[in-house]
Every structure is written in C-alpha cells, then in structure tokens.
Structure 1
Amino acid sequence: MDDVETLLFPEISPYAIHDISTTAPHRLRVEESGNAQGIPIVFLHGGPGSHCKAYHRCFFNPLYYRIILFDQRGSGTAQPQGELRHNNTSELIQDLEKIREYLGISQWVLFGGSWGSTLALLYAQDYPHRVLGLILRGIFLARQQDIDWVYRPTALLEFFPQQWQDFTAWLPKAARQDPLPYYYHCLTGDDIALAQQAALQWSAWGACVVSFGTFLPPNEFEPELLMAAKIESHYMMNRCFLQENQILRNMESLQSIPSMIIHGQQDLICPLNGAWQLHQSWKNSTFHCLPNSGHLAHYPEMQRALITATETMAQQLFL
C-alpha cells in the first residue's frame, strides 16, 4: 500500500471547539473530534512554532479515539500570534494540564513528533499518573548537542554545504560560526525588513534539513514564516528552557508507562542515536527504526508505522 492518502483514516471534522484562556495574554483554540467516549489522545505538534493541520486528526481511528488538537502558545490559531511573553516549556506543560482538566479527562495518550515528542516526554515526567501511553516520532531530546547539530557548523555541512552558505553568508562574519544569537536578535528585533530576511533564511535552512533537501525554500516572505521562526529561535536560544540532558536524567517516573518510539533512519534534523538512547533508558518502550524514512510524517513507511502504533495502543486500552 504505497499511496500516502490511503494510509490515513478519512478526513474528519471537529465536533467541539473550545477557547481556553491560559496565562495572560495567551488563549488556545482546542478542538475535539472522533468518539467523545473514546480514548482521549492529544496531538502535540512540532516546531516550536509550527501548528496542527487537518490531516493530523487522521492518524487515529475515530471509532476508538477522542482526538484532541491544539496549537501551542503563539502558534497557528493560538492568540496572540507570535507572542513570546510567558512562552516557555514550563508554561506549555501547564497548558496541557489546563486542557486536560477543562475537558474533564482523567488520563490520556500523548502523541508527539519532533518538538512534540519533547513536550510529551516532559509532561509525562511531571504528570506520569495522567498518562495512559505515549506514541513518539522523530525524537528531539533538546540537549545542547541537539541544538548545535542544526544551528552550528556540524556534519550537516557534508550534506548541505550550499544551503549552509546561504544560511550564514549574509550574517556578519563574526556570527557565522554560531548563527543562532544573531538570528534571534534579528527575528525578535524592531527592524522589520531584517526580521523578514532572517525568517526567509531560517525557514529555508529548516525546510532543507527536515526534508533531506526535497522541499523548495520559500521564495517570498509570508507572515507565518516570521511567527514560526521567532518562536523556534526563542526556544532554541534559551535551550528550550531545560536543564542539560533533563529528559534522560528523569526517566525513572516513566518506566511503567507503555510507549512506542518511531524514528526514521534517514532523519537528519534529529539523528537516530537520540531516539536509541531514549529507548535504552526506558524499559517499557518499543523501538521502531524505519530505514526508508526521514524526519517528517509524510513518508509512507512512517505513516504506516504511526497508524499501526495508534491501532495497537487502541487494542491495548480500549478493546
């Protein structure tokens, strides 16, 4: 079955949408679809600074799952867009708790990819008694080495030397070996033209690495590019507001929680070894390395693995 469209469940519309206020001035749009009496499962998008898409509902069998989607602070439908005040990892974890309580959910499954996997792990470490299970894709552990891998001259240059040059050539010479601080300065500064240029270059480099060079870079500025780049740089510049190696040092509370770790062997933005280290520290996890997949969820092999994971989790919890 190689047709990507046939791998997902049919399109589905929300049966409920909620406007939830969190720390001022933030408000979140939270949607529910599927079976209102089913297994609660929350989709955690990547980025930081990305957003949920309609097809994200389609990883879950609507007969079995109560599907919950929302955009994280400052992203997508969240208001105000691009807001950095009170926008940090601890606040995002508290948002998840507020959503759970608002929806009257006792326990739920966490489904997260990339930065979404980071957030899922951190929430589960803080609230293990609220977690039925985790399905994680494209593991990002948010260590300094994981951030440096993308935003400093590393082995990625062997794959994308021209794109790295495009990413850094317009910077002052002193900033080219460590571009992140200068990008953060531009993206969060008052010079709109400079911020727009930085957003274009930031987006082009990220799209290249995340897609193994298959995505074409944006050729003109769109406001969404600046919003996403500003939030992502805010988190990367602040080391995702975590202590170094925080996730792997705090795995004890997760040992009894069933989890499925799914990672593409060709993932260049989140190298495979991080996912393997997570699995090695988690006795109740299963590990699936996909030889023909990269970071994104659109690969047929990756979609097949994610659907299998959600179906397996449903059989364990619902049937």
Structure 2
Amino acid sequence: MALYPPLEPFHQEYLPVGDGHELYLEQCGNPDGVPVMVLHGGPGGGSSPLLRRLFDPRLYRIVIHDQRGAGKSRPHADTNHNTLAHLVDDIERIRQHLGVSRWRVVMGGSWGSTLALSYALEHGERVASLVLRGVFLCRRQDMDWLYTEHGAARYRPEQWQRLVGALPPGEGTVLARYHAALAACEDQNEEGMRLAREWTRWETHLSALIPPTGVDVDDHAWPMARLETHYFMHEGFLPEPLLPRCARLCCPVEIVHGSYDLVCPPEQAWLLHQTLPDSRLRWVPGAGHATSEAGIGEALIAAVHRLEQHGGLA
C-alpha cells in the first residue's frame, strides 16, 4: 500500500495561542471531510509534507501544526511558556478554533505519540481513536537510552563520540551539559549552532536503520536541540508517569513500531500495548524509527483502514 500523492494545504495560518506564541497551522484534503489531527515528533522537530500523505485526502480533513517554537511557529525555538501542558492546551485551542467537535483520529509519532496520549488522557471525549508510531513513554530510562554511553551509543559509537566530543569540558550527563551549553549561547551564534548540529545529527543517525551520509541538519538543528534538551531535562513535563495512566484510555489505539527502532526501543510499544484496554500492535520488520523508513508510512495507512473497518472512527 503506497502513500497518498503529495498534497498542498487548502488553508494555512498563524494561530495566536497566548504567551506570545503563534502556531503555524495547515489543513489539507477535504474541507468537509472527517477531521484528524497529525502531530509531529520532536519536540522541536516540526511537521513535514510527508505527514499530509497518511490519510485519504478525498475523505479526511487533515489538520497539522508546528508545536510551540518548532518548525514555522513563532517565536523560533522559544522555551518560555513551553511545556507539555501548553502543547496539550494548544491542540484543544486548535480544535475549538476550527469548530471540530471531535477528532476522529489523533496520529502522533515519537514525541508526538507522547503528546497524543497526553491529549487523549486530558480530553478523552474529544478523541475517537489514536494511531501511534515509534512509541516514546518519556521515562527516565528512555532518555538515558538516548543520552548515556550505556544505550544507543553502543550501536552508533562513532557518532556518539562525535556528539560527546563537541561538548566543552565539564561534569554531569551529556543531556545536562548540552542543555547548559545551549542555554548559555546567544540564539544561533556560531558556538550554539555547532552544538545544535551535533545534537541533531546524533538523532538523525539513530532514526534510520541505515545511517544517512552527508545530512544537512541546519534548517532544524537549533529548535530541535534547544527544545529537546529543555523538555528532557524536565522529564518531559509529565505530571506523573504516562504508562500507568494509559490503562484508563477507552478509545481504540493502533500502534505501529519499527522492529529495529533505536530512538524508541520496541519494549516501549510492547508495554503500552499490554497496558491499553483496546489496542493493536503492528511491528514493521526491518524498519527503524522515522516515518520515512521503509514500510512505516504504509503501516500507518493500514492502521487507519483497520479503524475504518472496525468502526473505530465512528
């Protein structure tokens, strides 16, 4: 099953959401179609045209936005008034602004899966179903996997050494040192961009099963590094652990996860599947983390079809 053809928005705007933030918001597909919200990863990653191609544009009203400080949203890479609670509230503001009574699907990948689950826990009556890709539970062990020498570093030792080597001498974890170093830099000055490039290059290498070569990360390195270290130094701003709370979710949940995901190891998807009352888990053999990995996008489209066939979009 191929992705839907490339698609341009029928509507774009900047939506003020308070605290000086304006979100880039777009709608694609059928203006009178079934409303769905598609959440990007990150935090700080921003949306991409690929996210428009996961729903049938004849049937769905596809709503996508860049989270606070990310992508095209303004101000760029701003960490002020930028927590999980703010992001959850922003989704609700968008729903009200667009006059949507209920999202038939909220789809989110990686950090977007964390956000989708958090929104559904807070506003369950506004969510008919969830489709999640690359589940990230945002526990301390999940962040340690990414940013200590005992986790993903063992699979990408050369790139890990490059990440650590970019830091000035100091004490503390790699995450804490990056957060402090980036906070001390003026916006996108030479030193800040050097650190941000290495941070973003590390995650880019982890996302693909076959590490890319010659990756240009300049377009999104600064918000990615700034916002991600901001969130993960604060435990994702989760009010309490996410996994136990998911046991009370009543909506159907489709989970798609690459069997060789190095950013979010498969255990996270399995634990979530075991916790949720109504979920289906599909492994994508030979795939890594990113939506662009072979088979991931097609599996997400198939997940939406399963919800359609089993009445999960009613």
TM bracket (short chain): over 0.9
Which structure 2 residues correspond to residues 57-136 of structure 1 after superposition, within 5 A?
57-108=52-103, 109-136=105-132
Between stretches 69-78 and 299-308, larger displacement belongs to 299-308
2:69·2:79 contact (CA, 8 Å) conserved in 1?
yes
Please tell me whether the aligned partners of residues 33 and 57 of structure 1 are also in contact (alpha carbons under 8 angstroms): yes
Question: Cα RMSD (Å) of the superposition?
Answer: 1.9
The whole-number CA distance in structure 1 between the counterparts of 2:76 and 2:122 is 27
Identity percentage of aligned residues: 36
Task: Note the C-alpha offset of 1:35.
Answer: 1.6
Secondary structure at 2:129 match in 1: strand
Question: Following the alignment from structure 1 to structure 2, what is the Cα–Cα distance between the partners of residues 37 and 132?
Answer: 18
1:4 corresponding residue in structure 2: none
Alignment of 1:1-319 (within 5 A): 7-108=2-103, 109-175=105-171, 178-190=173-185, 192-212=189-209, 214-216=211-213, 218=215, 222=218, 224-243=220-239, 246-254=241-249, 256-315=250-309, 316=311
Distance 2:185 2:313 in 1: 52
TM-score by length of 1: 0.91
- Give the aligned residue type for 1:40: P
User: Retained in 2: the 8 A contact 1:112–1:137?
Assistant: yes
Shift of 1:174: 4.3
Structure 1 gap ranges (5+): 2-6
User: 2:101, 2:126 within 8 Å by CA — same for their partners in 1?
Assistant: yes
Q: Aligned to 1:304, what secondary structure does the other structure show? A: helix
Instruction: Decide whether the 8 Å contact of 2:108 with 2:116 is kept in 1.
Output: yes
- Note the C-alpha offset of 1:173: 4.9
Check conservation: 2:259, 2:284, Cα contact below 8 A. yes
> TM-score of the superposition, structure 2-length normalised?
0.93
**Number of aligned residue pairs:** 310
Higher mean displacement: 116-125 or 232-241: 232-241
Deviations, residues 167-224 of structure 1 (Å, cap 9, x unaligned): 112435544x6111111112122353321221121112111112235122646x7363
Q: Shift of residue 317 of structure 1?
A: 5.3
Matched residue SS, 1:37: coil
The amino acid that maps onto 2:134 is G
Q: 2:66 touches 2:72 (CA, 8 Å); kept in 1?
A: yes
What is the DSSP-based 3-state SS (H/G/I as helix, E as strand, rest coil) of the residue aligned with 2:295? helix
What's the offset of the Cα at 1:252? 3.6
Could you list the runs of 5+ residues in structure 2 that have no partner in the other structure? none
**In the alignment, residue 269 of structure 2 is paired with which amino acid?**
A
Q: Distance in 1 between matches of 2:265 and 2:247?
A: 24
Rounded to whole Å, the distance in 2 between the matches of 1:288 and 1:181 is 35
* 2:247–2:277 CA contact under 8 A, matched in 1: no
CA distance, structure 1, for counterparts of residue 223 and residue 231 of structure 2: 13
Distance 1:110 1:318, change over 3 A: closer
CA contact (8 A) 1:263 1:272 kept: yes
Taking structure 1 as reference, are residues 303 and 189 closer, same or farther at Cα in structure 2, changes over 3 Å only?
A: same
